[in-house]
Amino acid sequence: MMARYELGIDAAKLDAIDMHVHLEVDGHGHGSLPEALTEASAKYFKAGDRTPSLDRIAELYRELNMAAVVFTVDARTQLKHEPNNIPELIAGAAKNNDVLIPFGSVDPRTGSEALQGAKHQAVELGARGFKFHPSLQGFDPSNEQFYPLWETLQELGLPAIFHTGQNGMGAGLPGGYGIKLAYSNPLLLDAVAADFPELQIIMAHPSVPWQDEANSIATHKANVFIDLSGWSPKYFPESLVRMSNSVLQDKVLFGTDFPLITPQKWLGAFAELPLKDEVRPKILKHNAVRLLGLDG
């Protein structure tokens, strides 16, 4: 039987917590995405090594004195492609629990199976949150048919990361590989946040072209956060930088989208942003410590 994940992170000793790291290939060489999507996104992001193992990811973050939230996405219905082995991902994080924090994933379009899967991953396996990608999974998170799933996550008391904004996945392919950008409009999450006030929602990425909507929701809803992954900070929308420095300083979270962007590259550009000295440690670590319950 695989070991259940238990938190082994000493947050006080860390320099940062990366809220957004993908495991692209599992221990059996199975890719998280169909090959056409992997190739197109590598070209879009100009990424180097797309497929580090979980142990290699742990090694890298240990060297950087950081922790990382790791996950994959279950989009089996939309992509007709099985996800990475999620129990194995959580077990691998358990083995590296000094630096890795595993999030689970279920395909919302599988109905009651998704509810059971979420409970199993959280209760039996020890997942510390969940990852969704509405465009990749082909669903509208505000549609009430998915409300039982959000109810389940709220009862479990675990946060959920949702991809928002522009998609590197499918970029440049005919019809964008059938991936619909509208499902990643952050406004769809406003309804979820309103109807499930105890569910902590993380809107992943600068939400281009809907950054003002994301800023507004994160300002309005106490249970909504923004992670800053997927873009080099030098390309962040000006409104996001300005509000991260003021009203959103307790609501924004460091994230890279590794292996698509390395922590070193992200942090180099982050250092150039016009942010107050007291805001930087909140973004890099303190907001995540509070959100993930790492403060004991």
Euclidean distance between CA atoms 107 and 94, whole angstroms: 23
Sign of the C-alpha dihedral computed for residues 275, 277, 279 and 284 taken in this order: positive
Phi, psi dihedral angles at 289 (to 5 degrees): -55, -45
Contact 114, 121 (CB under 8 A): no
Euclidean distance between CA atoms 69 and 9, whole angstroms: 12
Chunk the chain into consecutive blocks of 10 residues (it has 296) and report each block's average pLDDT, rounded to whole numbers.
90 98 87 76 65 94 98 96 93 98 98 98 98 97 98 98 92 90 98 98 98 98 98 97 98 96 97 98 98 91
**Looking at residue 31, what is its pLDDT?**
82
Shortest CA distance to 259 belongs to which of 93, 127, 68, 128?
Answer: 68
Sign of the C-alpha dihedral computed for residues 234, 239, 245 and 249 taken in this order: negative
Contact 58, 21 (CB under 8 A): no
Asked if omega into 209 is within 30° of 0 (cis), the reply is: yes
Structure tokens at 229: 């992954």
Sheet with 201-204, strands from edge to edge, namely: 130-132, 160-163, 201-204, 224-227, 252-253
**Looking at residue 283, what is its pLDDT?**
98
SS3 at position 37: helix
**Looking at residue 116, what is its pLDDT?**
98
Contact 248, 11 (CB under 8 A): no
pTM over 0.85: yes
Shortest CA distance to 200 belongs to which of 19, 16, 10?
Answer: 19
Contact 209, 217 (CB under 8 A): no
Euclidean distance between CA atoms 212 and 221, whole angstroms: 14
C-alpha angle 203-207-212 in degrees, rounded to nearest 5: 105
Structure tokens at 11: 């947050």
**Looking at residue 14, what is its pLDDT?**
98
Length of the chain measured in residues: 296
**Looking at residue 127, what is its pLDDT?**
98
**Looking at residue 169, what is its pLDDT?**
83
Instruction: Express each pLDDT in 204-247 by its tens digit.
Output: 999 999 999 999 999 999 999 999 999 999 999 999 999 999 99
Structure tokens at 58: 């742990």
